């Protein structure tokens, strides 16, 4: 399943993905006409609340499933009471029920593989036990077999990423640690923007058909052959490139499946 | 309104305490009360969350507050410091939108970030980044909330106070408000709350379930506002400073709360003279003078007096100020502070008045100019008109 990281972008109205005059409240149902999965960004900015999610679910098209980011106060701006926050998050996100495809634990770029960080991650995964969890590393130091083995032991998905080829960033891999789910995030390959830090520049990238075709032939083929289910998100939201690229990849996958079928 | 609006509300809870804690790190995580120390019956100006939890409230007598929270550090208010901190707070926010509205030194700020998404990204991201920027640069931790109106954004902030964030999605307003207590609804007076309580209405959703006709029946014309408030309907715009009509403000805080009319007249007179000096130095005139009296018990009253033609001379300003004072002094309670506001300002016309004696006018102007020079050189109290009330 392909989708995008977030769906509520006014910019996508200007760029033509949503019809002119679309308000935020109407976006999810329009999004559902093109996609069946979406990554919820808002749960990164604020704690997941069951009442809010239940209302969103009630208004969402019935076929859509969700991946939800873990709150920033647990991953990026860790607070002392993070353990209680994880419990609150579990309670809040529970409102999605069976439509929760994964909880995305996105770790910050400076989160390297130190002893204390390893202990934190192990404890965090303990607290999230029983939930469908996917971990996205940004720091290259985590790209080691022992980490993959531990994720595999815990049945936690390692997120495969496509991002600029810059030193220190987590590499592009097709490692499967959880046969129940593979998870891919396309961030774009805007090297200049990535260094700049401005979201509008960082995620301003339009994947070419050739680039997506390569993914389709190599990494995605490998990932899907070893997993029962996979979700793929495009995070290059600027100028609605994410939904365009997601639809393009979706058509390439369909073609490939058609060929092999 | 058909267009999606994005209003960010930032609020530094207990602003004065937050600023004092930046200056003095030893105050962190300890109960702090800000109140004038010299006053015999000083009242609490601000307090920390720890003191609040012990029962201390704004406007409470300091003696009582310190009895309730014995461990509290009591500090005198430093308004100039709070004003500077507020300025820095506003400057950080200004980098994300020119449309911002804020109070004097209260730690509240509204930012309209509608249409900035191409420049700065999604509205929640702007809220988060601005919060992070303020926290790292100013070391204060504001609440931020994002909604489609000032009203809903403010309620979001109230909900998470003293720290946190709240995002109310478009179209979610009424469902968000429904389970909340009426106490969280801004603009609802205590009398109105009591009246609603008599009908066993304690939640915003219960108020929203009433029809326009029902609300009109109980509250008259005010029913229309309550109808909108309870549904989260608020089309009011964020009014940037330059859009607000200019005004001049002068404050006085009594070292001891005062109910003596002659003293009050003296203070109001002195404030009117200060207003006059400011008006004359900028060659402006005011057509209205407003007076706000803050009473010891935490309540306040505002009254105004206006004239058709602009004025800038002490006599006329004093006349208006004293009229406003007479209108406002309806209680025997002591006054803690007063604020004199000159507004409806306009530049002074160079044209001479038709029905006054130019020679007398000129004489008066020369006299005022001479008095202003003396005051500038020797202080505001150096000279005054014999007919003006004495500042005790």
Kindly report, residue by residue over B45-80, the tens digit of the pLDDT.
Answer: 899 999 999 999 988 888 899 999 999 999 988 888
Q: How far apart are alpha carbons B147 and B155 in whole angstroms? A: 10
**ipTM rounded to 2 decimals:** 0.81
Mean pLDDT, rounded, for B376-382? 82
Q: Closest CB to A24: pick one of B127, B166, B169.
A: B169
Q: Which long-range contacts (CB under 8 A, 24 or more apart) does B241-245 make?
A: B241/B100, B241/B101, B245/B343, B245/B344, B245/B345
> What's the mean pLDDT in B358-383?
84
Mean pLDDT, rounded, for A113-136: 96
Amino acid B121: pLDDT? 85
Report which DSSP code applies to B210. Answer: S
Question: Coil, strand or helix: which one is B80?
Answer: helix
Contact B166 A46 (CB under 8 A): yes
pLDDT in tens, A40-49: 998 999 899 9
Tell me the percentage of chain B whose pLDDT exceeds 90: 51
Please tell me the predicted confidence (pLDDT) of residue B294. 83
> Which of A25, A198, A199 shows the shortest C-beta gap to B171?
A25
Query: What are the chain B neighbours of A69 within 8 Å (beta carbons)?
Result: none
Q: How far apart, in whole angstroms, are the C-alpha atoms of residue A71 and residue B165?
A: 12
Cα A9 to its chain centre, rounded Å, is 17
Query: Number of Cβ pairs closer than 8 Å across A and B?
Result: 57
Helix axes B123-138, B79-94, angle to 10 degrees: 140
Helix or strand or coil: residue B286?
strand
Q: Which residues of B260-271 are buried (b: 16+ CB within 10 A; e: fewer)?
A: eeebbbbbbbbb
Helix (H, G, I), strand (E, B) or coil at B346: strand
Cis peptide before A100 (omega within 30 of 0): no
Confidence at residue B1, expressed as pLDDT on a 0 to 100 scale: 43
Q: What is the pLDDT of residues B269-325, one digit of tens each?
A: 989 998 999 999 888 999 999 999 988 766 678 999 999 988 999 889 999 999 999
Is residue A156 within 8 Å of residue A142, measured between CB atoms? Answer: no
* Pair type for strands B108-112 and B100-102: antiparallel
User: What pLDDT is stored for residue B289 in this prediction?
Assistant: 95
Q: Compute how many other C-beta atoms are within 10 angstroms of the C-beta atom of residue B209.
A: 12
Average pLDDT of the segment spanning B134-147: 93
pLDDT of residue B297: 66
Question: pLDDT category, B88, cuts 50, 70, 90?
Answer: very high
Identify the band that residue B336 occupies on the pLDDT scale cut at 50, 70 and 90.
confident
Tens digits of per-residue pLDDT, A166-178? 999 999 999 999 9
Measure the CA angle with vertex A91, ends A90 and A92; round to 5°: 95
Contact between chains at A52 and B166 (C-beta distance less than 8 A): no
CA distance B212 to B195: 16
Provide the pLDDT confidence category of residue B213 given band limits of 50, 70 and 90.
very high
**Gyration radius of chain B's alpha carbons:** 24
Residues of A in contact with B180 (CB under 8 A): none
- Predicted local confidence at residue B292, as pLDDT: 92
CA A5, A11, A16, A20 torsion-angle sign: positive
Task: Over range A170-192, report the average pLDDT.
Answer: 95
Under a CB-based contact definition with an 8 Å cutoff, are residues A177 and A152 in contact? yes
Give the position of tokens 């478009």: B170
Of A26, A52, A199, the CB nearest to B121: A199
Of B4, B122, B172, the CB nearest to A55: B172
Closest listed residue to residue A143, CA positions, set A107, A114, A173, A163: A173
Q: Quote the CA–CA distance of A168 and A41 in Å, as a whole number.
A: 25
| pTM for this predicted structure | 0.77
Residue B95 token pair: 């980098």
Give backbone dihedrals phi and psi of B111, rounded to 5 degrees, phi first: -130, 125
pLDDT at A187 > cutoff 90: yes
Chain A positions in Cβ-Cβ contact with residue B117 (cut-off 8 Å): 9-11
pLDDT above 80 for B352: no
Answer whether residue A123 shows pLDDT above 60: yes
As a whole number, mean pLDDT of residues A10-23 equals 92
Chain B residues touching A8 at Cβ < 8 A: 122, 169
Mean pLDDT of all residues in A207-231: 93
C-alpha span between B223 and B215 (Å, rounded):
5
Residues A85-101: pLDDT tens digits? 999 999 999 999 999 99
Task: Report the alpha-carbon distance of residue A195 to residue B352 in Å, rounded.
Answer: 65
Cβ distance of B2 and A21 shorter than 8 Å:
yes
Minimal Cα–Cα distance from B139 to chain A, Å? 15
Give the tokens for residue B376: 């500038």
pLDDT at B39 (0 to 100): 62
Residues of A in contact with B127 (CB under 8 A): 45
Across the strands, what pairs with A169?
A: A139
By CB atoms closer than 10 A (0-12, 13-18, 19+), residue A160 is buried
B295 three-state secondary structure:
strand
Looking at the predicted structure, is the pLDDT value of residue B231 above 50? yes
Alpha helices in B295-382 (DSSP H): 314-328, 358-378
Contact B121 A6 (CB under 8 A): no
Cα torsion B381, B386, B388, B391 to 10°: value is 40
- pLDDT at position B2 is 52
pLDDT at A257: 80
- Please tell me the predicted confidence (pLDDT) of residue B41: 67
Query: Could you count the other beta carbons within 10 Å of the beta carbon of residue B253?
Result: 15
Asked if A10 lies within 8 A of B4 by C-beta distance, the reply is yes
Which segment of A108-122, A239-253, B255-269 scores lowest on mean pLDDT? B255-269
Average pLDDT over residues B255-281: 89
pLDDT digits (tens, 9 = 90+) for B123-133: 999 999 999 99
Residue A182 — pLDDT band, cuts 50, 70, 90?
Answer: very high
Q: What are phi and psi of A188, to 5 degrees?
A: 95, 165
- Which two structure tokens, joined as six digits, stand for B379? 């202080």
Highest mean pLDDT among A70-79, A120-129, B93-102, B234-243: A120-129
Beta-carbon separation of A45 and B124 below 8 A = yes
| Residue A13 CB neighbours (<10 A) | 19
Report helix angle B314-328 to B261-281, nearest 10.
140
What DSSP line would sit under B1-64, residue for residue? --S---EEEEE-TTHHHHHHHHH-GGGTTS-EEE--SS-TT-B--EE-HHHHHTT--TT-BHHH
pLDDT score for B4: 84
Asked if A42's CB is within 8 angstroms of B4's CB, the reply is no
On the question of pLDDT at A154 being above 70, the answer is yes
**pLDDT at position B392 over 60:** no
pLDDT band at residue A199, thresholds of 50, 70 and 90? confident
Collapsed DSSP state (helix, strand, coil) of residue B296:
coil
Contact between chains at A41 and B2 (C-beta distance less than 8 A) = no
Residue ranges of chain A whose CB lies within 8 Å of a chain B CB: 6, 8-11, 14, 21, 23-26, 41-42, 45-46, 52, 55-56, 72, 77, 198-200
| Cα four-point dihedral sign A156, A157, A163, A165 | positive
Minimal Cβ distance to B169: which of A25, A199, A200:
A25
The residue in chain A having the minimum alpha-carbon distance to the alpha carbon of residue B176 is A52
Cα separations (Å) of A224 from A179, A184, A217, B183? Answer: 9, 11, 11, 54
Mutate: best of A46, A75, A81, A235, partner B, most B CBs <10 A: A46
SS3 assignment for chain A: CEEEECCCCCHHHHCCCCCCCCCHHHHHHHHCCCCCEEEECHHHHCCCCHHHHHHHHHHCCCCCEEEEECCHHHHCCCCCCHHHHHHHHHHHHHHHHHHEEEEEEECCCCCCCCHHHHHHHHHHHHHCCCCCEEEECCEHHHCCHHHHHHHHHHCCEEEEEECCCCCCECCCCCCCCCCCCEEEEECCCCHHHHHHCCHHHHCCCCCCHHHHHHHHHCHHHHHHHCCCCEEEEECCCHHHHHHHHHHHHHHHHHHHHHHHC
Torsion angles phi and psi, residue B131, rounded to 5: -60, -45
At residue A239, the pLDDT reads 92
Q: Alpha-carbon distance A1 to A64, whole Å?
A: 10
Confidence of residue B377 (pLDDT cuts 50, 70, 90): confident
**Phi, psi at B365, each rounded to 5°:** -65, -40
Q: Which residues pair with B167 in a beta bridge?
A: B146
DSSP summary character for residue B181: B
Q: In the sheet where B143-147 sits, what is the strand order?
A: B100-102, B108-112, B7-11, B143-147, B165-167
């Amino acid at each position: 399943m392909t989708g995008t990281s977030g769906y509520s972008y006014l910019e996508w109205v200007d760029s033509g993905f949503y019809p002119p005059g679309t308000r935020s409240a109407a976006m999810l149902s329009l999004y559902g006409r093109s996609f069946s999965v979406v990554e919820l960004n808002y749960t990164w900015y604020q704690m997941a609340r069951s009442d809010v999610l239940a209302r969103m679910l009630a208004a969402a098209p019935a076929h859509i499933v969700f991946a939800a980011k873990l709150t920033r106060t647990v991953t990026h701006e860790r607070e002392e009471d993070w353990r209680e926050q994880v419990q609150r998050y579990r309670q809040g996100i529970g409102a999605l029920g069976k439509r929760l495809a994964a909880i995305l634990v996105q770790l910050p770029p400076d989160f390297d593989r130190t002893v204390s960080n390893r202990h934190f991650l192990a404890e965090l995964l303990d607290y999230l036990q029983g939930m469908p969890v996917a971990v996205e590393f940004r720091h290259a130091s985590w790209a080691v077999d022992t980490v993959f083995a531990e994720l595999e032991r815990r049945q936690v998905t390692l997120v495969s990423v496509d991002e600029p080829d810059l030193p220190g960033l987590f590499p592009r891999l097709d490692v499967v640690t959880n046969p129940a789910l593979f998870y891919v995030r396309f961030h774009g390959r805007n090297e200049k923007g990535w260094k700049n830090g401005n979201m509008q520049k960082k995620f301003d990238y339009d994947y070419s058909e050739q680039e997506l075709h390569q993914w389709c032939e190599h990494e995605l083929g490998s990932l899907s052959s070893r997993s029962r289910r996979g979700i793929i998100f495009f995070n290059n939201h600027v100028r609605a490139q994410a939904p365009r690229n997601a639809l393009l990849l979706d058509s390439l996958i369909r073609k490939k499946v058609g060929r092999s079928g | 309104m058909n267009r999606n609006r994005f209003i960010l509300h930032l609020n530094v809870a207990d602003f004065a305490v937050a600023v004092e804690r930046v200056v003095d790190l030893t105050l962190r995580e300890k109960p702090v009360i800000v109140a004038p120390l010299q006053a015999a019956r000083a009242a609490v100006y601000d307090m920390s969350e720890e003191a609040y939890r012990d029962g201390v409230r704004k406007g409470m007598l300091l003696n009582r507050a310190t009895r309730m929270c014995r461990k509290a550090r009591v500090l005198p208010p430093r308004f100039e410091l709070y004003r500077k901190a507020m300025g820095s707070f506003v400057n950080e926010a200004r980098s994300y939108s020119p449309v911002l509205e804020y109070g004097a030194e209260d730690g509240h700020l509204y930012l309209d970030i509608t249409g900035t998404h191409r420049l700065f990204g999604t509205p929640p991201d702007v809220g988060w980044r601005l919060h992070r920027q303020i926290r790292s640069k100013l070391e204060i931790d504001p609440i931020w909330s994002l909604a489609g109106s000032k009203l809903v954004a403010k309620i979001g902030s109230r909900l998470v106070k003293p720290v946190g964030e709240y995002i109310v999605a478009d179209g979610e307003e009424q469902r968000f408000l429904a389970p909340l207590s009426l106490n969280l609804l801004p603009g609802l007076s205590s009398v109105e709350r009591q009246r609603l309580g008599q009908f066993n209405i304690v939640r915003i959703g219960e108020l929203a379930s009433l029809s326009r006709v029902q609300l009109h029946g109980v509250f008259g014309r005010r029913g229309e506002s309550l109808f909108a408030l309870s549904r989260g309907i608020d089309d009011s715009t964020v009014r940037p400073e330059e859009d607000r009509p200019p005004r001049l403000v002068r404050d006085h805080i009594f070292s001891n709360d005062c109910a003596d009319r002659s003293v009050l007249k003296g203070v109001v007179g002195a404030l009117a003279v200060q207003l006059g000096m400011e008006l004359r130095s900028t060659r402006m005139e005011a057509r209205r003078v407003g007076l706000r009296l803050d009473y010891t018990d935490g309540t306040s009253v505002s009254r105004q007096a206006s004239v058709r033609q602009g004025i800038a001379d002490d006599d006329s300003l004093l006349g208006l100020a004293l009229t406003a004072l007479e209108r406002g002094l309806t209680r025997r309670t002591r006054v803690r502070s007063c604020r004199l506001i000159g507004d409806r300002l306009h530049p002074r016309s160079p044209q001479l008045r038709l029905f006054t004696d130019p020679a007398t006018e000129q004489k008066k102007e020369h006299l005022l100019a001479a008095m202003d020079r003396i005051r500038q050189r020797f202080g505001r109290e150096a000279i005054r008109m014999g007919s003006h009330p004495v500042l005790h």
